[in-house]
Amino acid sequence: MNYNVEQQEGAVPIKMWTKGVPVEDEARKQLSNAARLPIVFKHIAAMPDVHLGIGATVGSVIPTIKAIIPAAVGVDIGCGMMACKTTLRAEDLPDNLGPLRAAIEKAVPHGMTPHRRGRDEGSWENPPSLVDQAWATLVDDFEAICEKYPRLRNTNNRKHLGTLGTGNHFIEVCLDEDGAVWFMLHSGSRGVGNAIGTHFIELAKKDAEQHQRNLPDKDLAYFEEGAQYFGDYVRGVSWAQKFARLNREVMMKNLIETVRKVIPKPFESHLEAVNCHHNYVQKEHHFGEDVFVTRKGAVSAKKGELGIIPGSMGARSYIVRGLGNPESFESCSHGAGRVMSRTKAKKMFTVDDQIKATEGVECRKDEAVI
């Protein structure tokens, strides 16, 4: 057995794929709280990169019966990875990768204007046709959601489609062990997904004040099937997950076209493309039951299914193929994990540390990325 089982009275078991991996006490507490909810099915699975999260534990797989926990899905709904292999080889890349990086940074909006001064630099000023084509597949359902929740119109929605965002979101040109060039990126549902997630998390907490007074943690407030906001949340989260997937597809197309302008050699792309969420919820069938599976920092790993586990900045990433392990609800880890919080890391690491850690890697090495 390659996992440990933690069992507490009045709770479902927690199966933890963390042998040899330190786990924070706070993360264990979060997992324990979730395991005590009456809606949780069978057990909770914790991945090797498990750590304390906002709302619920990052690196957890939480199956629920006829209910969903909005804060477990979180506010970066549909956040995930996309990667595609090309016919380019290592020797086709220029010796100086600086101009290629600059071209990509110019082509794909990223970051955020501080203090909301003027237009957000992380959004499109004039979205290109590629964005408009993708938005056309989203707009009708978005308008239907906004009819009931008009505040969601006051978001960067269309102008965030095909943009990267902030934090640990990234675009990368990388090589596999055979010298083939891959493009990889990490992003989610951007501002509009955040607004949808935030709004329904607030509604769930208000609803819980009346109907779920014995919650072990107010962040674990949930909507049950048939409840006032359940159907609306399912529609909203499903739409945001579709937005996130399209967001990555639009960025990837833009990235590929940008590289074609910099590298003269013709090449094919999407030889082996992977586009996977790692913050999301969907209905699945496990252990004879239809359940809602929330993967909070976890990737679907059905038998034969391709997934992506990115490494730390400048480190190796992995394209993986699922084994369909039923005990993990056919899931695997979504990243390298962490040894400290982002806040602590910002206090500890300097620009010089960043320069040393990314030696030989073409990337930004200034205070803005610390």
What residue ranges do the domains of the chain occupy?
Answer: 4-339, 340-370
Which pLDDT tens digits describe the chain residue by residue (370 residues)? Answer: 899 999 999 999 999 999 999 999 999 999 999 999 999 999 999 999 999 998 899 999 999 999 999 999 999 999 999 999 999 999 999 999 999 999 999 999 998 877 666 678 899 999 999 999 999 999 999 999 999 999 999 999 999 999 999 989 999 999 999 999 999 999 999 999 999 999 999 999 999 998 888 899 999 999 999 999 999 999 999 999 999 999 999 999 999 999 999 999 999 998 889 999 999 999 999 999 999 999 999 999 999 999 999 998 888 999 999 999 999 999 999 998 887 777 888 888 888 888 888 888 888 888 776 6
The span from the CA of 357 to the CA of 129, in Å, is: 39
Closest CA to 182 of 87, 299, 322, 309: 87
Q: How far is CA 79 from CA 123, 221, 366, in A?
A: 17, 21, 25
Please tell me what DSSP assigns to residue 18: -
Q: How far is CA 240 from CA 23, 76, 200, 237, in A?
A: 31, 9, 13, 5
Residues with catalytic roles: 334
Residues pairing with 217 in the sheet: none
Question: Domain 4-339 adopts which CATH fold?
Answer: tRNA-splicing ligase RtcB (3.90.1860)
Amino acid at 232: D
Helix boundaries (H) for 217-299: 230-262
- Sign for the pseudo-dihedral over CA of 230, 235, 240, 245: positive
Q: In this structure, what token pair is assigned to residue 132?
A: 């408009």
Judge if pTM exceeds 0.85. Answer: yes
Q: What SS3 string covers 158-225?
A: HHHCCCCCCCCCEEEEEECCCCEEEEEEEECCHHHHHHHHHHHHHHHHHHHHHHCCCCCCHHHCCEEC
